[in-house]
Structure 1
């Protein structure tokens, strides 16, 4: 019974706190609503800016990646301004100078907390600004070969030739060698073709060159090169080089056509493409008496 008077003051204090918080919330509700309105307006302004910037930049000449970077930076600037205005509206005592100072301190803290995200963001800025490939180009990064679908300030989306989508952090593109397969409108392709040792090398070279020149998948403005390369184990090998389109599909299609044409032309010219030959050499003469006895019909076993 002695504890009852102590509970009543505690209950009264809790009720007063709840009433005070409710009163503060009601008093600040218009400011919160105004902040939500400002955020919605910022979202609409960012989307409108991105749409207008896309249309305007598409009519300008220049690297597509650089245009995307300008659009991304513009959208980011709209959001930064919108967040500053929201902070000033929701917190009346906040000034733009204080908000910027707080944003700077927060950015440093976030930079340490999200180091990889910041690293990928900066890498994305560099890729969009300076890298020599755009969406639509084919690249090779290690075992990944595919078309660049999209480049953002955080990641790059690559559609592999088998249809799979690979999402690469932008920092990975800066830290590893990247082969841009479609940097030029044509690529050089090389195959090895062998003819038998008994064939005339000059005649075989001429047949191979004519066969490659007759293919419509090659670039006839670039030279066709056929060089006798080496004395292989069973053949004289030729290095056959030509130029075709830069995409992986064009390279595969052209290689298929050239290999079929060369094989057909060598066959029609009577030039042999040999199978591997093996010559066996024995240090001691082979005894053929047993085989001779079999040929004469004499018994080979018993007395």
Structure 2
């Protein structure tokens, strides 16, 4: 057997096949370039339409991603059928189905986060810019991708969380409404007239501008403390964290000032020592 002649014949056959397929390769390359161009145009069109529809930013991102993936899938399928004439669309779709199943088992976590990202983007309650708390992470949502969510914590650290974690665990959306109820416990001494103290505390909150006037201020005699009778004070204010802290500071100062003006004591813990037997007292050595 002449191996050199066989190798030369195979190389010549491959070269002739390559030359014969050059037109198909050129057409396939042109189709890929057209696919890239069509994908860019389609994304711009969908972005304008979603902007006119006033869709939230996460849903706009999802629509742009789905549009890009759809255009590229169609373009690559057309290019593949042209470059490989024996490949039929039905067989290509069937092969993609089997390949997707195999890839799904191999990259289960990636596809889980991908599907979770799609479902998160379809949610209406959580948007980019919302303040959320999940699994001990408290911060503002900066971006939502198909695999992960970026949360900027209040201390300015950036936390990147897999979408599956936000989808499987309870998520507290702290800025879902523009106002939130806040509360504070205030203690007064046991010899205080509780009805009078309640009126003083409620009146102290009247002059605070940050408190929502449309919602009632509630003051309840709540519990018996170790050294005081405790009142539970509740009010409604802006849901943004900084505004809530500033409002609470105003409330604390206003209540303290009102109780001082009314002569009502905010007691500190009293400690009484009781001895079973008389305790001798030592006189001062100078005496």
TM-score (norm 2): 0.89
Please report how far the alpha carbon of residue 90 of structure 1 lies from its aligned counterpart in structure 2 after TM superposition. Answer: 2.0
- The verdict on how the C-alpha distance between 1:284 and 1:83 changes in structure 2, with shifts beyond 3 A counting, is same
Q: How does 1:223-238 map to 2 (within 5 A)?
A: 223-238=216-231
Q: Counterpart of 1:300?
A: none
1:279 aligns with 2:272: yes
Please report how far the alpha carbon of residue 131 of structure 1 lies from its aligned counterpart in structure 2 after TM superposition. Answer: 4.9
Q: Distance in 1 between matches of 2:33 and 2:56?
A: 32
Q: Counterpart of 1:203?
A: 196
Q: Counterpart of 1:165?
A: 158
Q: Distance in 1 between matches of 2:157 and 2:23?
A: 50
SS in 1 for 2:231: strand
**Structure with larger Rg:** 1
Q: How does 1:133-212 map to 2 (within 5 A)?
A: 133-212=126-205
Q: In structure 1, list runs of 5 or more residues that go unmatched.
A: 1-5, 298-303
1:220 aligns with 2:203: no
Please report how far the alpha carbon of residue 296 of structure 1 lies from its aligned counterpart in structure 2 after TM superposition. Answer: 8.2
Please report how far the alpha carbon of residue 233 of structure 1 lies from its aligned counterpart in structure 2 after TM superposition. Answer: 1.0
SS in 1 for 2:205: helix
Give the root-mean-square deviation of aligned CA atoms: 2.4
Q: Distance in 2 between matches of 1:278 and 1:172?
A: 49
Post-superposition CA distance 1:95-127 (Å, at most 9, x none): 222221221121111111111122122222222
Please report how far the alpha carbon of residue 239 of structure 1 lies from its aligned counterpart in structure 2 after TM superposition. Answer: 1.0
In structure 2, which of residues 244, 247, 263 is the aligned counterpart of residue 251 of structure 1?
A: 244
Q: How does 1:29-68 map to 2 (within 5 A)?
A: 29-60=22-53, 65-68=58-61
- The verdict on how the C-alpha distance between 1:296 and 1:118 changes in structure 2, with shifts beyond 3 A counting, is closer
Q: Distance in 1 between matches of 2:8 and 2:261?
A: 103
Which 4+ stretches in 1 moved above 6 angstroms? none
Please report how far the alpha carbon of residue 143 of structure 1 lies from its aligned counterpart in structure 2 after TM superposition. Answer: 1.0
- The verdict on how the C-alpha distance between 1:33 and 1:279 changes in structure 2, with shifts beyond 3 A counting, is farther
- The verdict on how the C-alpha distance between 1:253 and 1:30 changes in structure 2, with shifts beyond 3 A counting, is farther
SS in 1 for 2:122: helix
Q: In structure 2, list runs of 5 or more residues that go unmatched.
A: none
TM-score (norm 1): 0.85
- The verdict on how the C-alpha distance between 1:223 and 1:49 changes in structure 2, with shifts beyond 3 A counting, is same
Q: Distance in 2 between matches of 1:228 and 1:71?
A: 55
- The verdict on how the C-alpha distance between 1:260 and 1:90 changes in structure 2, with shifts beyond 3 A counting, is farther
